[in-house]
């Protein structure tokens, strides 16, 4: 069959994210014997006409729309990406008879709502490189694959769904053939990193999380040797900025240690980073071996330094764990991005002050603190239940496609904004979602690349903010 895969993500802040999932799906579909073309809309000037040209060239039997995010998760400046799908779908429907399949992480989070909104025929719920070829096989044989796990579909205007996850990491191949499908230079020249996952799944139960819906609760680990081979393979291709994008990189601890140990032994010529460290599993041994392996930056997602809020978010670690991780990080040289989310269940002015005081005391001037406000509520999460119990959410799940956020009813938003404004003015190494959404950021990324600046860009926050302040543009 002729298959067109359209990568719909066009969001470039803070950097464009390489479409690892869609490229892996394209690899798998080609391996299954189909004729495949990938259209990446990320850098297209006129996405609609670019897609229309592809439709004409290929006359596809199936069009797969890959959807990364429903929105930008930013309460202050929300952008609803899902609305970009409607014109694409309308155009496909008016020009072809192709079957329309949705896939990508956004679709795993709200499949029914996105199927209804777009009017697409099928939705693939995660692990697309396994499920999509199976779906194609069934469709090419004229079968209705209604027992296949990991799909949703429309039947007489009723949405049906089969949950379940397929097996990945079975052949040790962790990255797709990026060069075959996308303009990789366009990404690299905007400071993008190559995403690599060493595992799928997450054992934690944070109240707002959708990742477990996408990847499941059980860990599926890639052998540490496969990870090392993959990194060496990428280095040989000249792809040197690599980011581990696991839900939590250092859990299970032994697996992370084995991966870093393997990398430290071969020491490939790469710059590694991961922004997904959990304070529970940080110790001197791990950070030392990460340094040896070639890590140039880490991120730690603590969300809060208040015990009340950590409990409210069900983070699975305590404020003592946060303090302990901070002391360990201070003993090492790795630059660290601290990630906080203010306004969760139980948040008050006093708990915000606890977090700000922690940042003041423990975050080194060369490190960076990122403060987000509010939490996107997705259907099916515990946060949705909390919000309904507290009477701060009255929307139906259908209406929740529009960005909707939780913000603690015990906290005043204006107070929080002004408190953050004050600390950001005093600390040039603090950033918030306005910084990430800064309209000149894509231009700065390109400029940084030309000047030979290496990712991660956040390491240079103090200098960037000072420069912006000089021009009266500080965020
Ligand atoms: S640790 Fe991360 S992936 Fe795991 S449940 Fe919490 S937010 Fe989700």
Per-residue pLDDT of the chain (475 residues; tens, 9 = 90+): 999 999 999 998 888 999 999 999 999 999 999 999 999 999 999 999 999 999 999 999 999 999 999 999 999 999 999 999 999 999 999 999 999 999 999 999 999 999 999 999 999 987 899 999 999 999 999 988 888 889 999 888 889 998 766 566 555 557 899 999 999 999 999 999 999 999 988 999 999 998 776 777 888 899 999 999 999 999 999 999 999 999 999 999 999 999 999 999 999 999 999 999 999 999 999 999 999 999 999 999 999 999 999 999 999 999 999 999 999 999 999 999 999 999 999 999 999 999 999 999 999 999 999 999 999 999 999 999 999 999 999 999 999 999 999 999 999 999 999 999 999 999 999 999 887 777 777 777 788 888 888 888 888 888 888 887 877 776 6
Which ligand 1 atom sits closest to the C-alpha of 205?
A: 5
Q: What is the pLDDT of residue 166?
A: 57
Q: What is the pLDDT of residue 172?
A: 55
Other C-beta atoms lying within 10 Å of the C-beta of residue 113: 20
pTM, entire model: 0.92
**Ligand 1 centroid to residue 219 C-alpha, Å:** 12
Which ligand 1 atom sits closest to the C-alpha of 209?
A: 8
φ, ψ of residue 49 in degrees (nearest 5): -75, -30
Q: What is the pLDDT of residue 165?
A: 60
**Ligand 1 centroid to residue 206 C-alpha, Å:** 6
**Ligand 1 centroid to residue 212 C-alpha, Å:** 7
Which ligand 1 atom sits closest to the C-alpha of 210?
A: 8
Mutate-to-test residue for ligand 1 from 211, 218, 303, highest number of ligand atoms within 8 A of CB = 211
**Ligand 1 centroid to residue 217 C-alpha, Å:** 10
Tokens of 113: 């709502």
CA torsion, ordered 83, 87, 92, 93, to nearest 10 deg:
90
**Ligand 1 centroid to residue 285 C-alpha, Å:** 23
Q: What is the pLDDT of residue 167?
A: 61
Signed CA dihedral, 201, 205, 209, 213: sign only: positive
Which ligand 1 atom sits closest to the C-alpha of 203?
A: 4
**Ligand 1 centroid to residue 202 C-alpha, Å:** 6
Which ligand 1 atom sits closest to the C-alpha of 208?
A: 7
Q: What residues does 7 pair with on adjacent strands?
A: 40, 66
Give the residue whose CA is nearest to atom 1 of ligand 1. Answer: 204
**Ligand 1 centroid to residue 210 C-alpha, Å:** 8
Q: What is the pLDDT of residue 419?
A: 97
Give the residue whose CA is nearest to atom 3 of ligand 1. Answer: 247
Tokens of 134: 């199976």
Mutate-to-test residue for ligand 1 from 198, 220, 248, 378, highest number of ligand atoms within 8 A of CB = 248
94 Cβ neighbours under 8 A, 6+ residues apart: none
Strand positions, DSSP E, 139-253: 151-155, 158-162, 194-196, 199-200, 220-221, 241-244
Q: What is the pLDDT of residue 463?
A: 83
Give the residue whose CA is nearest to atom 8 of ligand 1. Answer: 209
**Ligand 1 centroid to residue 34 C-alpha, Å:** 36
Q: How far is CA 138 from CA 34, 134, 142, 148, 151, in A?
A: 13, 6, 6, 9, 12
Give residue ranges with CB within 6 A of ligand 1: 202, 204-206, 209, 211-212, 247-248
Tokens of 292: 């040896």
Say if residues 129 and 170 touch (Cβ distance below 8 Å): no
Other C-beta atoms lying within 10 Å of the C-beta of residue 221: 18
**Ligand 1 centroid to residue 146 C-alpha, Å:** 30
Mutate-to-test residue for ligand 1 from 198, 203, 206, highest number of ligand atoms within 8 A of CB = 206
Residue 81 to residue 78: CA distance in whole angstroms: 9
């Amino acid at each position: 069959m002729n298959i067109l895969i359209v990568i719909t993500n066009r969001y470039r802040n803070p950097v464009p994210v390489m479409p690892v999932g869609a490229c892996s799906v394209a690899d798998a579909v080609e391996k299954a014997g189909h004729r495949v073309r990938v259209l990446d809309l990320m850098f297209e000037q006129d996405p609609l006409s670019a897609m229309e040209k592809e439709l004409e060239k290929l006359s596809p039997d199936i069009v797969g729309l890959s959807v990364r995010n429903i929105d930008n998760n930013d309460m202050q400046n929300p952008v609803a990406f899902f609305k970009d799908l409607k014109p694409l779908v309308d155009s496909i429907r008016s020009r072809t008879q192709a079957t329309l399949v949705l896939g990508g992480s956004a679709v795993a989070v709200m499949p029914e709502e996105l199927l209804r909104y777009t009017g697409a025929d099928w939705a693939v719920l995660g692990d697309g490189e396994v499920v999509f070829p199976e779906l194609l096989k069934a469709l090419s044989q004229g079968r209705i694959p209604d027992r296949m796990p990991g799909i949703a579909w429309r039947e007489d205007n009723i949405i049906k769904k089969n949950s379940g996850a397929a097996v990945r990491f079975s052949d040790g191949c962790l990255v797709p053939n990026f060069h075959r499908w996308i303009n990789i230079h366009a990404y690299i020249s905007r400071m993008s990193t190559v995403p690599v996952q060493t595992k799928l799944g997450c054992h934690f139960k944070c109240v707002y999380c959708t990742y477990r819906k996408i990847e499941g609760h059980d860990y599926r680990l890639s052998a540490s040797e496969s990870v090392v081979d993959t990194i060496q393979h990428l280095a040989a291709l000249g792809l040197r900025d690599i980011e581990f994008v696991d839900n939590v990189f250092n859990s299970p601890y032994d697996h992370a240690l084995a991966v870093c140990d393997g990398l430290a032994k071969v020491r490939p010529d790469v710059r590694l980073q991961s922004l997904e460290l959990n304070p529970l599993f940080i110790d001197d041994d791990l950070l030392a071996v990460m340094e040896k392996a070639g890590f140039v930056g880490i991120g730690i997602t603590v969300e809060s330094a208040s015990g009340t809020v950590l409990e409210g978010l069900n983070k699975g670690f305590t404020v003592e764990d946060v303090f302990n991780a901070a002391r360990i990080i201070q003993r090492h040289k790795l630059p660290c991005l601290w990630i906080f989310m203010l306004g969760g269940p139980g948040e008050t002015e006093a708990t915000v002050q606890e977090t700000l005081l922690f940042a003041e005391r423990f975050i080194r001037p060369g490190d960076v603190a990122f403060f987000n406000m509010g939490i996107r509520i997705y259907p099916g999460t515990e946060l949705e239940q909390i919000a309904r119990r507290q009477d701060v959410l009255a929307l139906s799940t259908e209406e929740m496609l529009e960005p909707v956020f939780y913000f603690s009813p015990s906290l005043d938003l204006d107070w929080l904004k002004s408190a953050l404004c004050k600390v950001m003015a005093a600390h040039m190494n603090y950033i918030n979602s306005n910084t990430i959404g800064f309209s000149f950021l894509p231009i700065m990324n390109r400029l940084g690349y030309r000047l030979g600046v290496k990712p991660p860009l956040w390491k240079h926050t103090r200098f960037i903010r000072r420069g912006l302040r000089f021009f009266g543009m500080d965020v």
